Amino acid sequence: MLGKLDWSAIPFDQPIPLVAGGVVLVAILAVLIWVVVKGHLPYLWHEWITSVDHKRIGVMYILLASVMLLRGGSDAIMMRIQQAVAYQSQGYLPPEHYNQIFSAHGTIMIFFVAMPFVIGLMNLVVPLQLGVRDVAFPTLNSVGFWLTATGALLVNLSLVIGEFARTGWLAFPPLSELSYSPGVGVDYYAWSLQISGVGTLVAGINLVTTVLKLRTRGMNYLRMPMFCWTTLASNLLIVAAFPILTATLAMLLLDRYFGFHFFTNEAGGNVMMFMNLIWAWGHPEVYILVLPAFGIFSEVVSTFSGKALFGYRSMVLATMAICVISFMVWLHHFFTMGAGPDVNAIFGIASMIIAVPTGVKIYNWLFTMYGGRIRFATPMLWAVGFMVTFIIGGLTGVLVAVPPADFMLHNSMFLVAHFHNVIIGGVLFGAFAGFEYWFPKAFGFRLDERWGKLAFWFTFLGFYVTFLPLYIAGMLGMTRRLQHYDVAAWRPWMFMAAFGMLILSIGVICQIMQLVVSIRNREALRDRTGDPWDGRSLEWATSSPPPVFNFAFNPDVRGEDAYWDMKSRARQQSLEHDEPEYQDIEMPRNSPTGFVCAFFATIMGFALIWHIWWMVILGGLGAWATFVVFAWRDHDEYVIPAAEVAAIDRVNLEERRSLVSMAGIV
């Protein structure tokens, strides 16, 4: 009846996951009760859960990422403490638990923090920057988000029901095969990634189509803001790479569920094929994450330097070059597995070549700052911090791209330090910069600068204190994923890294404080004009937060830096004061399709993990029925009458006129 599921799945003998799970459960229940008692449930349901508005979906993506960041961060703290105390002892975490923690940490940070954070920012900003009212497929967008949330839910469910994978974040066979991992851990891993992978693919298709087919009048390709270009590149990579992950995990699951022999040791299975396939996805994935961050830095650096982006066209070229070359370097993740010197040399050279366009970008940002009137607001601090940190990470990356060096450093703590250097210094700093930069656009008030700057400095410092020691430990021969060790020379560095983790945690607390303080002072921090940073692209041409239809009129773009151009023209030619003729606007209606579909996907995923076959069929039928019901509805759009559009738009127009005329006088 319930497949493999019984009471032994609840880890009564392990206090840490049980207590952690219990606390989270209580917290969730408390929030739910608060929502219901306060009567917020209808609002949440109508305005957020069923929303197909790209801005709301973007915000929900970022919220999911932030919550998961706390979960992944807790895993990181536990690992750092374990390695600090586990010198000639077992530490406080038993090996099977420690192995689950590092696997969950990697999985969560990549799939449920970094991915939703960048996808959320792209969702929030790209339609605004393109000057359009929504993404190409609004309801599918909602489906994509909720499927991602399903994946995150399943991963966290493994904390209290069953176990998570002990195989590392990519579940290499043969360790991940049934004979060596008989539990449900790998199944939790694989199914949550399959389900959230569908969500990611949907988001990718949606954003590619949006950028290529939905741009406002005059928004030629070479007038798009840099963030739109990197969004395009990143989502092209999603469309091309995520199916590989889906296929690879499907093969692993077939091995585990039906005794197939893709990656087994017996009957001619080929383990190396898994390495090739998973990294053919895995390396583009790195760029899927970091390219949007590059786009964010381009916007931030240009805005806060008060200058157009230096070398716009070379930036576009570099972005698209990275997009293509990222598919030609995957083998550098396993130089040591004996592909031979010629193959290794080719991939080593390709890996060094891909550093060139990245270098081009760094110079472009530096030259954008050069001669600019730089304002060091919080987003700009993250951008500058990124440049310094990412160069170090990039250099160590070029180092391990040299096959002989990689033979020494493969799977060492040096590697761990390297990829954290680029992922934290690149993706996370970028996500934080984007968060600070676009928060006023999403919510209508700015974030507190004092706490923001504190958060930056603690995170920046904490990063170096945590990860520079790991480089050294790697040089001293320490391999990754050690539950305990006997080498005295490593110990001081592990202490230092744990201390750095403490500083990083203070940074996180500062960021939470920033949010609390800003919400409390929101009236003082209110952004009335919609253009708090003196921005250059179209998202600043509408109010903060934007109306559901984004723009009363689709803007007419005449050049690069569309909004800057409009502002300059408005200052030169005295302002047009006659009222534009407002028209009715049609917008897509909200739909619970995404939420309901994800509900059935959760049931189906859970049932698949525990081999409850009747429930699998039920979930599958439910998901199909949801789509049929959606396809059967008769009215998929509603009309916002011209009078309402006018009323909403006039308020913002007034604020904007006063701003421009004041600037005109100055």
The residues in 134-153 that bind other proteins, with binding defined as CB under 8 A, are 136-137
- Closest CB to other proteins among residues 113, 205: 205
| Site for other proteins contains 580 (CB under 8 A) | no
Cis peptide before 545 (omega within 30 of 0): yes
Nearer to other proteins, 216 or 230 (CB): 216
CB of 205 to other proteins, least distance (A): 5
Taking CB under 8 A as the criterion, the residue among 247, 324, 399, 524 binding other proteins is: 247
State the nearest-atom distance from the C-beta of 637 to other proteins, in Å: 10
Closest CA to 82 of 474, 485, 549, 420: 485
Q: In whole angstroms, how close is the CB of 104 to other proteins at the nearest point?
A: 26
Quick one: angle between helices 312-325 and 271-305, nearest 10? 170
Give 411's DSSP letter: T
Q: Taking CB under 8 A as the criterion, which residues in 541-570 touch other proteins?
A: 554, 557-560
How far apart are alpha carbons 655 and 575 in whole angstroms?
A: 13
CA atoms within 13 A on the CB side of 92: 10
- Angle in degrees, 0-180, between the axes of helices 449-475 and 378-400, rounded to the nearest 10: 10
- Min dist. Cβ of residue 329 to other proteins (A): 18
In three-state secondary structure terms, 526 is strand
Q: In angstroms, what is the minimal distance from the CB of 559 to other proteins? A: 4
**Smallest distance from other proteins to CB 175, Å:** 19
Closest CA to 602 of 629, 622, 625: 622
* Shortest CB 35 distance to other proteins, Å: 34
Q: Which of residues 630-659 bind other proteins (CB under 8 A)?
A: 631-632, 634, 636
CB-count exposure of residue 338 (10 Å: 0-12, 13-18, 19+): exposed
Helix (H, G, I), strand (E, B) or coil at 249: helix
Q: Which of 147, 161, 142, 258 is nearest to 194 (CA)?
A: 147
Q: Which of residues 475-514 bind other proteins (CB under 8 A)?
A: none
Residue 246 within binding range of other proteins, rule CB under 8 A: yes
Query: x/- contact string, 610-629, with other proteins (CB under 8 A)?
Result: --------------x---x-
Return d(Cα 305, Cα 128) in angstroms, integer: 22
Minimum distance from CB of 223 to other proteins (Å)?
7
Number of residues that bind other proteins (CB under 8 A): 56
The reply on whether position 284 binds other proteins by CB under 8 A is no
Smaller CB distance to other proteins: residue 12 or 632?
632
Residues 111, 242, 439, 551: which binds other proteins (CB under 8 A)?
A: 242
Q: Which stretch binds other proteins (CB under 8 A): 37-45, 254-262, 464-472, 483-491?
A: 254-262
| Alpha-carbon dihedral sign for residues 106, 108, 109, 115 | positive
Answer for the pair 176, 249: CB distance below 8 angstroms, yes or no: no
Comparing CB distances to other proteins, the nearer of 11 and 620 is 620
Residue choice 185, 225, 269, 605 for contact with other proteins (CB under 8 A)? 269
Instruction: Give the nearer residue to other proteins in terms of CB position, either 63 or 214.
Output: 214
Instruction: Let me know if 488 is exposed, middle or buried by CB neighbors in 10 A (0-12, 13-18, 19+).
Output: exposed
213 versus 373: smaller Cβ distance to other proteins: 213
Closer to other proteins by CB, 97 or 307: give it. Answer: 307
Q: Using the structure block, give the residue that is written with the tokens 């396809």.
A: 631
Alpha helices in 306-354 (DSSP H): 312-325, 341-353
Question: Considering beta carbons, is residue 274 or 435 the nearer one to other proteins?
Answer: 274
We find the least distance from the C-beta atom of residue 370 to other proteins, in angstroms, to be: 23
* Binding flag, residue 311, other proteins (CB under 8 A): no
Q: Pick between residue 46 and residue 558 the one whose CB is nearest to other proteins.
A: 558
- Find the shortest distance in angstroms from Cβ 558 to other proteins: 7
Helix 185-213 crosses helix 95-107 at what angle (to 10 degrees)? 10
356's torsion region: left (phi>0), alpha (psi -120 to 50) or beta? alpha
**328 touches other proteins by CB under 8 A:** no
| Per-residue 3-state assignment (H helix, E strand, C coil) for 568-626 | HHHHHCCCCCCCCCCCCEEEECCCCHHHHHHHHHHHHHHHHHCCCHHHHHHHHHHHHHH
Residues 343-372 that bind other proteins (CB under 8 A): none
Helices 378-400 and 413-422, packing angle to 10 deg:
140
Shortest spacing between CB 201 and other proteins, in angstroms:
6
CB-based burial, 300-309: b 16+ in 10 Å, e otherwise: bbbbbbebeb
Cross-strand pairs, 637: 588
Which residue, 205 or 587, has its beta carbon nearer to other proteins? 205
- CB nearer to other proteins: give 201 or 478: 201
664 touches other proteins (CB under 8 A): no
Complex with other proteins: residue 247 or 489, whichever CB lies closer: 247
Q: Considering only residues 61, 262, 310, 347, which one is a binding residue for other proteins as defined by CB under 8 A?
A: 262
Q: Which residues 6+ apart lie within 8 Å of 620 measured at CB?
A: 600, 604
In degrees, rounded to 5, the angle at the alpha carbon of residue 282 between the alpha carbons of residues 152 and 212 is: 85
* Spatial contact of 376 and 405, defined as CB atoms under 8 Å apart: no
Q: Does 223 bind other proteins (CB under 8 A)?
A: yes
Could you tell me the smallest distance in angstroms from the CB atom of residue 257 to other proteins?
A: 11
**Is residue 277 close enough to count as binding other proteins by CB under 8 A?**
yes
Closer by beta carbon to other proteins, 100 or else 181: 181
Q: How far is the CB of 94 from other proteins (least distance, A)?
A: 34
- Give the residue with the Cβ less far from other proteins, 89 or 220: 220
Reply yes or no: is the peptide bond before residue 42 cis, omega within 30 of 0.
no
Q: Whose Cβ is closer to other proteins: residue 132's or residue 226's?
A: 132
Q: How far is the CB of 277 from other proteins (least distance, A)?
A: 6
Minimum CB–partner distance for residue 281 and other proteins (Å): 9
Residue 297 and residue 433 in contact, taking contact as beta carbons nearer than 8 Å: yes
- CA distances 637 to 210, 469, 585, Å, are 19, 57, 10
Query: Closest separation between CB of residue 21 and other proteins, Å?
Result: 35
State the binding string over 193-222 for other proteins (x if CB under 8 A, else -): --------x--xxx-xx--xxxxxxxxxxx
Task: Return residues touching other proteins (CB under 8 A).
Answer: 132, 136-137, 201, 204-206, 208-209, 212-223, 239-244, 246-248, 251, 254, 258-262, 264, 266-270, 273, 277, 554, 557-560, 624, 628, 631-632, 634, 636
